[in-house]
Structure 1
Amino acid sequence: MTTARWESLSALAKPTLATLFAQDEARAARYSTLFEVGAGSEILFDWSKTHLDDAHIAAFEALAQEMAFASQRGALFSGQVVNPTEGRAAEHTAQRFVGSPVAVARAREDHGRMEALVKAIHAGEHGEVRHLIHIGIGGSALGPALVVDALARKDAKLDVHVVANIDGCALEAALAKCDPATTMLAVASKTFTTIETLTNAESALAWLQAAGVANPRERVVALTAAPEKAQGWGVEEGRILSFPESVGGRYSLWSTIGFPIAAALGWDGFAALLEGAAAMDRHFRDTEGAANLPLRAAFADLYYARLRGCQTRAVFAYDERMALLPDYLQQLEMESNGKSVTAEGAPLEGPSAPITWGGVGTDAQHAVFQLLHQGTNLVPVDFIAAIAPGDALDPAHHRILLSNCFAQGAALMAGQASEDGARAYPGDRPSATILLDALTPASLGALIAFHEHRTFASAVLLGINPFDQFGVELGKAIAKRIEAGNASFDASTQALLERAKIA
């Protein structure tokens, strides 16, 4: 039945963007939605420059009903198993206090302990602390790095550095910016066995000890779902902030993994981030059909991936403070929905997630937009910007920034004819725009939660499990075999190992 539904979607007419606007004078308004994030601040979501039309919307709504979207969404929020391969719930929304009562109660308790520790550090109860080096990898690093970079560039309560890469250059760069006498370490690992994280942590401890810090492990805060392992590693119980096993890494910044965010912003800022995300949670949970913003975004994503054969989706943040957002979304979307089997283990018929990539405007205009405008690949684009500037310079800076953002969407759609093929722009190229009134903790929280739910909605429509990530394990397992020196490989790999003097 689902195959027939996709076939019926494929059979629908595909008018050009120019035709869609010509046939509907109210299209810009009908395909745009204002979402309130609190205190009169809003986010505009505009899908009018995508090829979605009423017929496709109706067909996608029918697909959502056929795939039991409402019941699967209910299972997510009620704490039922939605990760069947690992037999787990996915309770990241409970960290924003929207979820099952048991999970929400646990989250309030964990957040209470984190709040007390953050406030104690800010009050000087742990000595003078001016720097925090947060060590993690994947979701344990990308989320904190994104939020700290976006919101703590000015007036940060602590100088926070996020280190993920096992490449020692990354840790050395962070250490060079910190005074060991006033530095704390946050070690973030769900299992507290992650080799990259623990190796970096040991080197940071050695740096503290070499600088004369008497007991470096007293400077460590552990963020983990395995507190007993953190204790075994030498962290005192009072500096271990736990979170549930049901919170996945790429969804964990709302949990105690967000400790560096709270340390940088202050507790009120972190609480506002949670509330902005919770506002999106409630919208996603309570809104039906295409009026549901993440679901409508999933319709657009699958329209291009499934019906137009688009293998990539581009995200451009026209705001330097959101420079890390494309990186964050790469992990969120590709680790979640980069699957080739259904949730039942059957081969997936058709493509799943597109490749997510992107950059920062206006830099990207001088790098990759040539392909977007005149290349042979059709690439749907998301533009993300904020009306209020993040700087105090001449307003011309922000005016030019936003003018370029809006102009790119208009140019992709309209194109420009020319007898000179090198100067011809085909147009009819899609984009969506997400325009924040201002980049605040609440609006950023809502924006990230929107993308989480967009990813989940796409997974439901595809019939896949977005909450496991076995694809990241094989290479790591082989790396451990190399480190242990007990494996043989193909001739190419063996030659590389010998060339690098690892074998």
Structure 2
Amino acid sequence: MHPPAYTPAMTQPPPTARHAAFARLKALADRPDGRRITPLFAADPGRAARFTAQLDDLSLDLSKTAIDEAALDALFALAEAADLDGFRRRLFAGDAINQTERRAVMHMALRAPADAGLRAMTAHGAEDAAAFAAAERDRMRRLVDSVHAGDARGATGQRFTDVLAIGIGGSDLGPRVATEALTIGRRDQTLNAHFLSNVDGNAFLEATRGLDPARTLVVVASKTFTTQETSMNAAAARAWIVTALGETAVAAHFAAASTNRTAVAAFGIEPSRVFAFQDWVGGRYSLWSPVGLVIPLAVGWKKFQSMLDGAWAMDCHFRDAPLRQNLPVLLGLAGIWHTNALGCASHCILAYDERLRRLPAHLQQVEMESNGKHVMLSGEPVGWDTCPALFGEPGTNAQHSFMQLVHQGSRVVPVDFILAADPGPDRPEAHRPEAHRALAANAFAQAEALMRGRPEAEIRAEMAARGASLADIDAIAPHRVAAGERPSTTILFRALDPFSLGRLIALYEHKVAVQGCLWGIDSFDQWGVELGKQLAGGILPELTPAAERQGLSAGPRREHDSSTTALIDRFLSLRGET
């Protein structure tokens, strides 16, 4: 049994309705003052309260955008034209939302209770996704508990002190951002976590620097167990273990998240240490699955479960809350306004928390791999821009690098400011009140500065008051002008703990789904990453000396463009292997 074949009329409203809705947004932005923010505050003293939405302690402030009531109504008209409410129901019903691959999208089941009733349509019919995920989660917990209790040990009988997580893309970025967020600044992690994604040999040397093979558990995350970079790094880690401890040590020192049990068994990993996940889990949404095994190994099962609970809380909010009070919907609509009404081509993520330093990298994949698409579900070209380019760094570091462009560049860059009110009462060594207040002051000041700017008249008066000459004022004042009226949103919550971390990441996951629905694209395939992989597989034998080509498809040399051919020849020449 297969999921029903895709019929555009089943899931996409007529494109004319969506076109009209996008045109309305553009017309509103083109009004006099349609892109300005400060007049909205002048006209409405209660604007901040009316344009802030909340879920428990988590608030989303959209007031520092140019969205007014008319724009908000137009955005919800677009949501209606795109049938966002119906999309949301189909998503949680387990329909084949990922239509080009004919797959359900059910990463929500990974954090749901076993009896949540979340089902996913598969090739074999409807599967109880929540029950499947819970069963694998129980198996994961047994391994985690046995490692922490010292029952599962290395080949020499020593307890594990370190875990090396090998993966790439979603098998690396999600687990890495979660693990770092819950371990940076702490001394109570159960195992020290290390990550290896890049196939560059220097990355392997750095990841294993100072590690004792006898006390290191290696977790390989690869759905197919054939991803080139992960396979090569896993082979290097295997050789590292075998060289130090012997061939028989592999079974004691490896675990895997994969669906290819045959390849995993050939590698030497015990079946009890192989954890599965289904094709209704996309890689960039897999940190909640066995792919994220490194997280509970590093922070303990209780914290991992709390992170899942936080994500599930956001899932339930996204599923159940009315659209006008729905945080992922509102965050997604703000992005639609900036991209499609204002024409912004980039978006900045600023988390004022060192523990979230890898969040922009994770969101780059979640958003750009999901919504970096140029055709609609029907296969027709989109008639509007889709995903902006994301970038970001932790605040306050960013203020001393690219924020110059955000404040004074020729193009408007919307910003998401993310901040916890409390660094964590259970972390007294990090709780320097003066430091956290300075962090918050900078976050709020940056958002205010982007909105209000600095007019030339104010600068000239300030320089004159300091005794500057008229010639200096004329020469310098224009360079100090900041136009202002630059939009931002602020996400504020009580403290960064496992629950709030899960809730935050899930907020952005659902924001991506909202925007994909409004743009009419498939947010859950990633065909664009395939071509480069395929070509690399063909070029690799051409870069390998003949004596080392065993097992590679050497064959006759392929035809390339003249630049690629010249680069291959130059590479071999520099290595002395022509």
- The TM-score bracket by the shorter chain reads over 0.9
Per the TM alignment, residue 484 of structure 1 is displaced from its structure 2 partner at its CA by: 3.0
Partner of 2:539: 482
Cα deviation, 1:247-290, whole Å, max 9, x if unaligned, reads 00000001111110011111111100000000000000001222
What is the alpha-carbon distance in structure 1 between the residues aligned to residue 435 and residue 273 of structure 2?
A: 44
Query: Is residue 261 of structure 2 the alignment partner of residue 227 of structure 1?
Result: yes
Matches within 5 A, 1:53-202: 53-97=68-112, 100-101=118-119, 102-127=128-153, 128-153=159-184, 154=186, 155-202=188-235
Give the counterpart letter for 1:412 in structure 2. L
What are structure 2's unaligned runs of at least 5 residues?
Answer: 1-16, 120-127, 154-158, 461-476, 543-556
* One of 344, 347, 351 as aligned partner of 2:385: 351
What is the alpha-carbon distance in structure 1 between the residues aligned to residue 268 and residue 247 of structure 2?
A: 14
Per the TM alignment, residue 416 of structure 1 is displaced from its structure 2 partner at its CA by: 1.1
Partner of 2:27: 11
Give the counterpart letter for 1:170 in structure 2. A
TM-score (norm 2): 0.84
How many residues end up aligned between the 2 structures?
498
Give the counterpart letter for 2:444 in structure 1. F
What is the alpha-carbon distance in structure 1 between the residues aligned to residue 69 and residue 265 of structure 2?
A: 57
Of 170-179 and 88-97, deviating more is 170-179
Give the counterpart letter for 2:565 in structure 1. Q
Contact 2:54/2:327 (<8 A) preserved? no
Per the TM alignment, residue 226 of structure 1 is displaced from its structure 2 partner at its CA by: 2.8
- 3-state secondary structure, aligned to 1:5: helix
Contact 2:136/2:276 (<8 A) preserved? yes
* One of 363, 386, 391 as aligned partner of 1:329: 363
What is the alpha-carbon distance in structure 2 between the residues aligned to residue 169 and residue 433 of structure 1?
A: 38
CA change 1:378–1:15 in 2 (3 A) is: closer
- 3-state secondary structure, aligned to 2:422: coil
* One of 302, 310, 317 as aligned partner of 1:268: 302
Contact 1:144/1:162 (<8 A) preserved? no
Per the TM alignment, residue 332 of structure 1 is displaced from its structure 2 partner at its CA by: 0.3
Of 319-328 and 236-245, deviating more is 236-245
Per the TM alignment, residue 216 of structure 1 is displaced from its structure 2 partner at its CA by: 3.5
CA change 1:99–1:377 in 2 (3 A) is: farther
Partner of 1:280: 314
What is the alpha-carbon distance in structure 2 between the residues aligned to residue 146 and residue 7 of structure 1?
A: 38
Partner of 1:206: 239
Partner of 2:373: 339
Cα deviation, 1:186-225, whole Å, max 9, x if unaligned, reads 0000111111001001111111122234523211101013
Contact 1:180/1:213 (<8 A) preserved? no
Identical-residue share of aligned pairs (%): 43
What is the alpha-carbon distance in structure 2 between the residues aligned to residue 394 and residue 61 of structure 1?
A: 43
What is the alpha-carbon distance in structure 2 between the residues aligned to residue 300 and residue 483 of structure 1?
A: 44
- Bigger Cα Rg: 2
Contact 2:242/2:250 (<8 A) preserved? no
Partner of 2:51: 31
Per the TM alignment, residue 369 of structure 1 is displaced from its structure 2 partner at its CA by: 1.0
Partner of 2:282: 248
- 3-state secondary structure, aligned to 1:434: strand
Matches within 5 A, 1:283-302: 283-302=317-336
Contact 1:78/1:99 (<8 A) preserved? no
What is the alpha-carbon distance in structure 1 between the residues aligned to residue 485 and residue 249 of structure 2?
A: 59
Per the TM alignment, residue 73 of structure 1 is displaced from its structure 2 partner at its CA by: 1.0
Partner of 2:18: 2
- 3-state secondary structure, aligned to 1:385: strand
What is the alpha-carbon distance in structure 2 between the residues aligned to residue 275 and residue 328 of structure 1?
A: 20
Contact 1:190/1:225 (<8 A) preserved? yes
Per the TM alignment, residue 58 of structure 1 is displaced from its structure 2 partner at its CA by: 1.1
Per the TM alignment, residue 389 of structure 1 is displaced from its structure 2 partner at its CA by: 2.0
Contact 1:205/1:216 (<8 A) preserved? no
Contact 2:375/2:382 (<8 A) preserved? yes
Partner of 1:39: none
What is the alpha-carbon distance in structure 1 between the residues aligned to residue 312 and residue 117 of structure 2?
A: 10
Cα deviation, 1:470-500, whole Å, max 9, x if unaligned, reads 1011011100000133422111111111111
Contact 1:77/1:99 (<8 A) preserved? no
Per the TM alignment, residue 228 of structure 1 is displaced from its structure 2 partner at its CA by: 3.4
What is the alpha-carbon distance in structure 2 between the residues aligned to residue 170 and residue 78 of structure 1?
A: 42
TM-score (norm 1): 0.97
Partner of 2:11: none
Partner of 2:463: none
Per the TM alignment, residue 231 of structure 1 is displaced from its structure 2 partner at its CA by: 2.1
* One of 439, 444, 453 as aligned partner of 2:496: 439
Contact 2:348/2:390 (<8 A) preserved? yes
Cα deviation, 1:143-187, whole Å, max 9, x if unaligned, reads 110011110232110011111100111111111131111011000
What is the alpha-carbon distance in structure 1 between the residues aligned to residue 208 and residue 130 of structure 2?
A: 37
